[in-house]
Each structure stands twice: as structure tokens, then as C-alpha cells.
């Protein structure tokens, strides 16, 4: 029964790893996976040392391999186990470290025009929309603004947060894999420099819809035209501005009389 405790604990850790890696959807990033695994191992460790008997059950099989056994037959087997543990394990760590430290071929950062000129007009599901001067129609309905913000949040968390992140800072689950990275909406150089119509264009047409001066783009920003309705897009735009506390850029307006 002694070896059982050790293998049980080993299986538990492996099971936790498999669940975290393959069962949970959407897939969690590897840094988070390591973090969770550290918590699991730490918890298992605390569990083991909380009970002397358990600790002994856990340590005995390890001890019996390391400490010389009187029985020459068992000692012969232990020798092999020792070789495996003290030879192969460090070798595996060395190989792993080498693979991680060796310099690969990484894409260089690309210089690009971050906010190219938007087209004057786009076709949204075949309906012509004039981007120039276009205002967010939902803003006129001030009474329902809070409702739009809430509905925009739902659109955001169903579609955008995987890349743009739950803090809207561009650090979503997929961000590490993308070059250019997802836009950071909390950056002062991002949405506060842009009109809402600009966002409407970018969200509906995505990376594919970027004009030639935006190249080379390789942008992973999807085109949402056929996924979201016009209203959904205006809602998510309101949500993005509201939750970052940013103001959209507006057309120059007559100063208010005070
Ligand atoms: C697959 C990842 C991914 C998803 C999902 C995604 N985006 Fe993006 N998004 C990007 C990337 C990458 C960029 C930066 C490159 C670019 O501008 O095309 C970007 C750029 C943008 C920009 C341009 C910001 C600027 O400063 O010019 C807006 C606006 C935007 N995304 C909104 C959204 C909204 C709203 C959603 C959800 C409906 C969404 N994105 C979903 C990857 C994604």
C-alpha cells in the first residue's frame, strides 16, 4: 500500500494538469496553467505534510530507493531506479532548459500606420453606410444608455475578450500569439483618438478591411459584419468607451453658451 500513496498523488497532479489543459474552454494561456499547477502542487504538498503518517507513506518509497537495501536482489533493482531518477531526470531538465533558452526565429516587430484613414463609405451587409460624419445612433437615446452599456458588455465578453482582455487592455488569452497584438483600449493613443464611426468600420471589417497603407498587417482582428448586428456593434462601442472611461473623438462642435 505504501507505493500507492505516491502514485495516487502523482495521478492527482497529472489529472489536474489534463483537466486544466484540455477540459476547460476556452483554453487557458500556459502562464496561467503553470500558475494553477503551482497552486495544485502546493495544496498537495500542504495536504501531505499535514499528517505525519501520510508524510511517511509518501516518503517511504522514495527512501527505500535511495537508501541501500540489505537484500542484494532489491538493491539491484533500486540501483536501476536510482540511475533512472538521478540520471534521466537531470537530463530531462537540461534538455527542457536548453529548448527554452535557445534563440528561435521570432518575428520582428513591424512598423506600420496604426490608424490608417478610414474609407468614406462602407457596405455593411450590402447596406451603404457613410462613415464620414456618422454618429452612434444609440447615444441619442439617453434614457436607455445604461441598458446599452450592459448589452454591450455581453457582446464584448461573448466575442472580444479572448483577445482584448477582460480589462480591455489587449491582454486576452490569445494576445501572446498575435503580432500585431490586440489593441489596448486603455491606451490613450487608442480609442480616445478615434471617432465612434472609425471603431464601427474597424469592428465590422476587421484586419481584412484595412487599406493598403496599413500593410503589412497580418492583423488577427476578425470581421464582425456577419456575426454582429449593426446595433450590437454600436452597443459594444459604447461599452468599450464607458468601461475604460474614455471619450470618443468628436467633430468640432460650437462651444456651449455658459
Ligand atoms: C482574434 C483576436 C481578436 C478578437 C476576437 C477581437 N479582436 Fe479586435 N483586434 C485584434 C487585433 C490583433 C487588433 C490590432 C490590429 C488591428 O488593428 O487590426 C485589433 C484591433 C481592434 C480595434 C482597432 C483599435 C485601434 O486602436 O485602431 C478595435 C476597435 C477592435 N479591435 C475591436 C474589437 C471588438 C469590438 C471585438 C469583439 C466584437 C474584437 N475587437 C475582437 C484582435 C481581435
pLDDT tens for 122-154 read: 999 999 999 988 999 999 999 999 999 999 999
Residue 27's pLDDT is 80
* C-beta separation of 50 from 56 below 8 A: no
Report the sign of the C-alpha dihedral through residues 126, 130, 131, 135, in that order.
Answer: negative
Distance (Å, whole) CA 240 – CA 93: 45
Residues 137-176, buried b or exposed e (16+ Cβ, 10 A)?
ebeeeeeeeeebbebbbebbeebbbbbbbeebbbbbbbbe
Q: How confident is the model at residue 230 (pLDDT cuts 50, 70, 90)?
A: very high
pLDDT at 1 over 50: no
User: What average pLDDT score do residues 165-194 get?
Assistant: 91
**Range name among 13-17, 64-68, 165-169, 249-253 with the lowest pLDDT average:** 249-253
Closest atom of ligand 1 to 227 CA is 38
What are 34-55's pLDDT values in tens digits? 999 999 999 999 999 999 988 8
- 64 alpha carbon to ligand 1 midpoint, in Å? 58
Q: Report the residue among 163, 190, 225, 248 best suited for mutation to probe ligand 1: largest number of ligand atoms under 8 A from its CB.
A: 163
Can the peptide bond before residue 203 be classed as cis, meaning omega within 30 degrees of 0? no
* C-beta separation of 242 from 149 below 8 A: yes
Provide the percentage of residues in the chain whose pLDDT is more than 90.
Answer: 55
Q: Pick the more confident residue, 103 or 159.
A: 159
Ligand 1, atom 2, lies closest to the CA of 163
- 128 alpha carbon to ligand 1 midpoint, in Å? 22
Q: Pick the more confident residue, 238 or 192.
A: 238
User: What average pLDDT score do residues 179-183 get?
Assistant: 91
Q: How confident is the model at residue 253 (pLDDT cuts 50, 70, 90)?
A: low
Q: Report the residue among 183, 227, 242 best suited for mutation to probe ligand 1: largest number of ligand atoms under 8 A from its CB.
A: 183
Provide the percentage of residues in the chain whose pLDDT is more than 70.
Answer: 91
pLDDT at 3 over 60: no
Residue 164's pLDDT is 96
pLDDT at 214 over 60: yes
User: What average pLDDT score do residues 63-91 get?
Assistant: 85
pLDDT, averaged across the chain: 88
What are 99-115's pLDDT values in tens digits? 888 877 766 665 667 78
Residue 159's pLDDT is 96
For ligand 1, residues with CB inside 6 Å are 115, 159-160, 162-164, 174, 178, 180, 182-183, 190, 199, 202-203, 207, 219-222, 224, 236
pLDDT at 98 over 60: yes
Amino acid at each position: 500500500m505504501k507505493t500507492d500513496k505516491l502514485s495516487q498523488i502523482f495521478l492527482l497532479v497529472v489529472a489536474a494538469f489534463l483537466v486544466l489543459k484540455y477540459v476547460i474552454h476556452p483554453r487557458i494561456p500556459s502562464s496561467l496553467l503553470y500558475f494553477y499547477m503551482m497552486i495544485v502542487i502546493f495544496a498537495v504538498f500542504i495536504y501531505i505534510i499535514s499528517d505525519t503518517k501520510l508524510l511517511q507513506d509518501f516518503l517511504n518509497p522514495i527512501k527505500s530507493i535511495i537508501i541501500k537495501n540489505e537484500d542484494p536482489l532489491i538493491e539491484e533493482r533500486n540501483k536501476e531506479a536510482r540511475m533512472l531518477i538521478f540520471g534521466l531526470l537531470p537530463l530531462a531538465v537540461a534538455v527542457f532548459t536548453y529548448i527554452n533558452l535557445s534563440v528561435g526565429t521570432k518575428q520582428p516587430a513591424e512598423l506600420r500606420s496604426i490608424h490608417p484613414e478610414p474609407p468614406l463609405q462602407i457596405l455593411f451587409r450590402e447596406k451603404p453606410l457613410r462613415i464620414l460624419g456618422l454618429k452612434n445612433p444609440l447615444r441619442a437615446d439617453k434614457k436607455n444608455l445604461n441598458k446599452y452599456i450592459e448589452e454591450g458588455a455581453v457582446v464584448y465578453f461573448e466575442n472580444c475578450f479572448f483577445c482584448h482582455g477582460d480589462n480591455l487592455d489587449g491582454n486576452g488569452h490569445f494576445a501572446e500569439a498575435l503580432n500585431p497584438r490586440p489593441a489596448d483600449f486603455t491606451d490613450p493613443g487608442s480609442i480616445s483618438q478615434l471617432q465612434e464611426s472609425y471603431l464601427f468600420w474597424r469592428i465590422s471589417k476587421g484586419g481584412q478591411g484595412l487599406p493598403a497603407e496599413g500593410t503589412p498587417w497580418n492583423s488577427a482582428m476578425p470581421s464582425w459584419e456577419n456575426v454582429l448586428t449593426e446595433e450590437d456593434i454600436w452597443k459594444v462601442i459604447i461599452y468599450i468607451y464607458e468601461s475604460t472611461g474614455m471619450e470618443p473623438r468628436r467633430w468640432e462642435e460650437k462651444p456651449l453658451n455658459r
